[in-house]
Amino acid sequence: MGNAESLMRETIKRIVPYSPGKSSAEVMRELGLERVTKLASNENPLGPSPLAIEAICGAAGQAWVYPDPDCRDLTAALAERLEVPAETIIVGRGSDEVIHMLGLALVNEGENIVFATPPFAMYPITARLMGAEERTVPHRNFRHDLDAMAEQVDEKTKLVFISNPYNPLGTIVTADEVERFLDRIPDTCVIVFDEAYFEYVVDPDYPDALGYVRDDVRCMVLRTFSKAWGLAGLRVGYGIGPADIVNVLKQVREPFNVDLLAQVAAVASLRDPDQVPRSVRCVREGLEYLYAQLDEMGLTYVPTQANFVMVDVGIDSVECFDALMRLGVTVRTGEIFGLPSWLRVTVGTPEQNETFIAALRNVLKC
């Protein structure tokens, strides 16, 4: 039998499979720990809305039925909440799948995709899957350099990704910066505002990306129920954009792509007026505590508009990660983002935040 690599498409040979790191169960089993504080994946430690849990339980008996392939109830609920036409919304298996659809539907081999580095993993994966050129622009002071990104756009650019807030760094680009950027971009490409963490933003200069959709700018806005809504385990996200682009994405959407329980949980979540405010309150209070502790320890960090914070621990991030893990705390190492002495830490509950700080003090001896 021949080597499977000889059968692979050339365009995917540079794709490195996404690695989420070890689960808490794996860490407990390998290290003999009874408990692990997981602050590695930007999950919502408060969990989903009670209304979502109730809806999941109520729908569980219908799991033998295929889900609505058009997610009509969820689409209608989102359209009402966002005040946009239903035909401008597409629901995916997380916003990751909408990114995948954008690549499949719009990008030809030999075209290019522009994004900042370090990037969210799906951007280079999409480019490599489609055989597109990756035009990467290094961050500038931990922020998107929109001027430099605009210079990379040409007649072969099909997608420009703006992660706002920026995962993994937590910063935002402002409304004024985006306006100047859009003035320089032709309508031959699609600007993708990846707003997975937008519910957590408190900066008044944050742009109204949905306003661009309403003004017929050729862009897509991506959002998710994985973060503030606490439904990461169900994988449901959505995109909002011009109806003609949404119709094209539907041509490559997999049948029954979003499962029944995810759909009913998302609809129920939207009926809970407290879910997002309590999630945001948890994060802002957690950041206030973490900033104070990190300042006291003399550590540099990037002020964030998301539910995570980047911290320079001053030593090799992998070594620090290993030491923290042995103390029952998992975070994300920075070397994968080109920041070898940094950690990305999810904001947890007060108890989780205190556990992290105690462990970090132990490791750094400060």
Is 250 domain-assigned? Answer: yes
Please list the alpha-helical segments (H only) found in 207-349: 209-214, 243-250, 260-270, 275-297, 317-326
- Per residue, the 3-state secondary structure of 164-203, as one string, reads CCCCCCCCCCCHHHHHHHHCCCCCCCEEEEECCCHHHCCC
- Stated length of the chain: 366
Global confidence as pTM:
0.95
| 244: containing domain | 50-270
pLDDT-derived band at 122, boundaries 50, 70, 90: very high
Q: Within this chain, do residues 196 and 336 fall inside the same structural domain, yes or no?
A: no
Burial of 338 (0-12, 13-18, 19+ CB in 10 A): exposed
CATH number at residue 302: 3.90.1150.10
Q: Within this chain, do residues 106 and 204 fall inside the same structural domain, yes or no?
A: yes
Work out the percent of the chain whose per-residue pLDDT is above 90: 89
Mean pLDDT of the region 265-277: 98
Q: Within this chain, do residues 255 and 297 fall inside the same structural domain, yes or no?
A: no
- Please count the structural domains in the chain: 2
Q: Within this chain, do residues 66 and 179 fall inside the same structural domain, yes or no?
A: yes
Q: Within this chain, do residues 202 and 350 fall inside the same structural domain, yes or no?
A: no
Q: Within this chain, do residues 35 and 130 fall inside the same structural domain, yes or no?
A: no
Six-digit token string for 78:
């989102």
Whether the CB-CB separation of 161 and 41 falls below 8 Å is answered with no
Q: pLDDT value at position 34?
A: 78
pLDDT-derived band at 28, boundaries 50, 70, 90: confident
Q: Within this chain, do residues 63 and 154 fall inside the same structural domain, yes or no?
A: yes
Q: Within this chain, do residues 31 and 104 fall inside the same structural domain, yes or no?
A: no
In eight-state DSSP terms, residue 140 is: B
Query: Which residue, 217, 252, 270, sits at the end of a domain?
Result: 270
Cβ contacts of 138-147, under 8 Å, gap ≥ 24: 139/166, 139/169, 142/166, 142/169, 142/170, 142/171, 142/302, 142/310, 143/169, 143/171, 143/172, 143/173, 144/116, 144/171, 144/173, 145/116, 146/173, 146/177, 146/178, 146/180, 146/181, 147/180, 147/181
User: Tell me: the pLDDT tens digits for 132-153?
Assistant: 999 999 999 999 999 999 999 9
Is pLDDT above 70 for 2?
no
Q: pLDDT value at position 35?
A: 87
Nearest to 154 by CA among 119, 184, 180, 122: 184
Measured between alpha carbons, how far is 307 from 173 in angstroms, rounded to an integer?
Answer: 17
Is 29 domain-assigned? Answer: yes
Is 176 domain-assigned? Answer: yes
Q: Within this chain, do residues 72 and 149 fall inside the same structural domain, yes or no?
A: yes
User: Tell me: the pLDDT tens digits for 45-66?
Assistant: 999 999 999 999 999 999 999 9
Query: Which residue, 270, 292, 326, sits at the end of a domain?
Result: 270
Query: Which residue, 254, 270, 286, sits at the end of a domain?
Result: 270
Six-digit token string for 192:
């993708």
Nearest to 362 by CA among 285, 339, 354: 354
Q: Within this chain, do residues 84 and 220 fall inside the same structural domain, yes or no?
A: yes
Is 7 domain-assigned? Answer: no
Q: Within this chain, do residues 327 and 188 fall inside the same structural domain, yes or no?
A: no
User: Tell me: the pLDDT tens digits for 286-343?
Assistant: 999 999 999 999 999 999 999 999 999 999 999 999 999 999 999 999 999 999 999 9
CATH number at residue 91: 3.40.640.10
Q: Within this chain, do residues 222 and 358 fall inside the same structural domain, yes or no?
A: no
Whether the CB-CB separation of 126 and 102 falls below 8 Å is answered with yes
